[in-house]
């Protein structure tokens, strides 16, 4: 009951007729540059010390953690 291939082709044809291929090419280029800029800023943030979500947590080597081990 979802959108099939024929419906997607019809929508694509209508969009091309309304906006034209040149305008769609410009929008695609702008979208690509925006994604590139976003990825670049994400990489710069990781280099400045902000951890990424996939980064492994650093082990805790504090005196409090060592004293907890001695207690148990």
pLDDT at 43: 87
pLDDT at 7: 95
pLDDT at 57: 57
Cβ-based burial of 24 (10 A; exposed 0-12, middle 13-18, buried ≥19): middle
pLDDT at 45: 75
Spatial CB neighbours of 15, under 8 Å, sequence gap ≥ 6: 24
For each of the chain's 72 residues, which pLDDT tens digit applies?
688 999 999 999 999 999 898 998 999 999 999 999 999 998 887 777 666 566 565 666 666 555 555 665
pLDDT at 3: 83
């Amino acid at each position: 009951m979802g959108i099939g291939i024929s419906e997607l082709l019809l929508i694509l044809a209508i969009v091309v007729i309304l906006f034209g291929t040149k305008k769609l090419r410009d929008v695609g280029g702008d979208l690509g540059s925006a994604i590139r800029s976003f990825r670049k800023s994400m990489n710069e943030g990781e280099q400045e010390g902000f951890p990424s979500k996939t980064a492994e947590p650093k082990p805790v080597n504090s005196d409090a953690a060592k004293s907890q081990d001695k207690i148990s």
